[in-house]
């Protein structure tokens, strides 16, 4: 099982689809379009920021805890399903979930009480995961690291209104802080092998050569981990060369 991670707009869903097609397996995508809480959360960030600017230092986002428990529940369900069979790929996983709640708490969008309740719930879920699925952890975690400029460019291209800094200028600071939290998360992650892809350097969606380079990097890492055979990698590389 492979899991993807990375900040908003890094290309997780695109690379998940590319990998699933390459390996002939199933992709599991985090639901966003049908998420009833996400637009409320972004609106709540704006409300909380305005209240703090007006002097209410204890103002929180009323939807931060709700959003994170919503995501936690969906990600737990998704990873259980993905772990039932071999070779599945997830575009987001439960393993990076806490960084969002921690950041929202540090920013004042959630309370310490909410954070502690969330962490207790997450701990209980992680303890149950080995019993609910075949695997205890992913075979490989792939994280796509991008700069603020690349992230904003891709968010703008995607065009979800509640993600655009043009509609909510306070998101600029939120996104910049989130990049820092992801750096900390990458340095501390130890649940499984981790492979970092440079999302600024490689346009694996729009450039065929970049896509091949990223796929071959991933396949070589899976070979090192004994998750692919040399014959499988050679066959895939031959197909890459022939497609250019």
User: Does 74 show up as a binding residue in the annotation?
Assistant: no
123 among annotated binding-site residues: no
Residue 127, annotated as binding a ligand: no
Contact 92, 30 (CB under 8 A): yes
What stretches in the chain show pLDDT beneath 70? 32, 133-134, 239-244
Assess whether 91 carries a catalytic annotation. Answer: yes
Check residue 160 and give its pLDDT: 84
* Residue range 86-110, pLDDT digits in tens: 788 999 889 999 999 999 999 888 9
Q: Are 46 and 107 in contact (CB under 8 A)?
A: no
158 is in an annotated binding site: yes
Helical packing angle, 171-188 and 97-106, nearest 10°: 130
Which domains, ranges and CATH numbers included, belong to the chain? 2-201 (3.40.50.300)
Annotated ligand binding at 9? The verdict is yes
Report how far residue 61's alpha carbon sits from residue 49's, in angstroms, rounded to the nearest whole number: 9
**What are 46's two structure tokens?**
């704006």
The four Cα atoms 105, 111, 113, 116 give a dihedral, to 10 degrees, of: -10
Polymer length in residues for the chain: 244
> Is 92 marked as binding a ligand?
yes
Residue 133: the pLDDT is 67
- Exactly one of 86, 91, 200, 208 is catalytic; name it: 91
Q: Compute the 3-state secondary structure of the chain and give helix, strand, coil in percent, each to the nearest 5.
A: 60, 10, 35
Please state, for a pLDDT cut of 90, what percent of the chain lies above it.
Answer: 55
7 is an annotated ligand-binding site residue: yes
Strands (E), 34-153: 89-90, 140-145
150: phi then psi, degrees, rounded to nearest 5:
-65, -40
Q: Does the annotation list 242 as a binding residue?
A: no
**For residue 171, what are the CA distances in angstroms to 194, 204, 230?**
28, 26, 45
Q: Is 42 annotated as a binding residue?
A: yes
């Amino acid at each position: 099982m492979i899991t993807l991670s990375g900040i908003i707009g890094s290309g997780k869903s695109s690379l998940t689809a590319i990998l699933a097609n390459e390996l002939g397996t199933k992709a599991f995508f985090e639901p966003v379009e049908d998420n009833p809480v996400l637009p409320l959360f972004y609106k709540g960030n704006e409300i909380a920021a305005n209240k703090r600017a007006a002097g209410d230092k204890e103002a929180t986002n009323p939807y931060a805890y709700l959003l994170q428990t919503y995501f936690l529940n969906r990600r737990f369900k998704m990873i259980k399903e993905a772990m039932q069979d071999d070779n599945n790929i997830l575009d987001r996983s439960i393993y990076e979930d806490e960084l969002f709640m921690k950041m929202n708490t540090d920013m004042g969008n959630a309370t310490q009480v909410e954070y502690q309740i969330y962490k207790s719930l997450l701990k209980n879920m992680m303890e149950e995961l080995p019993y609910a699925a075949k695997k205890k952890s992913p075979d490989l975690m792939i994280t796509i690291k991008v700069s603020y400029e690349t992230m904003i460019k891709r968010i703008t291209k995607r065009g979800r209104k509640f993600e655009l800094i043009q509609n909510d200028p306070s998101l600029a600071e939120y996104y910049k802080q989130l990049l820092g939290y992801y750096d900390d998360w990458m340095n501390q992650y130890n649940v499984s092998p981790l492979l970092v892809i440079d999302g600024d350097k490689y346009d694996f969606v729009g450039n065929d050569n970049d896509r091949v380079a990223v796929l071959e990097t991933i396949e070589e890492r899976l070979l090192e981990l004994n998750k692919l055979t040399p014959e499988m990698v050679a066959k895939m590389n031959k197909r890459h060369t022939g497609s250019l």
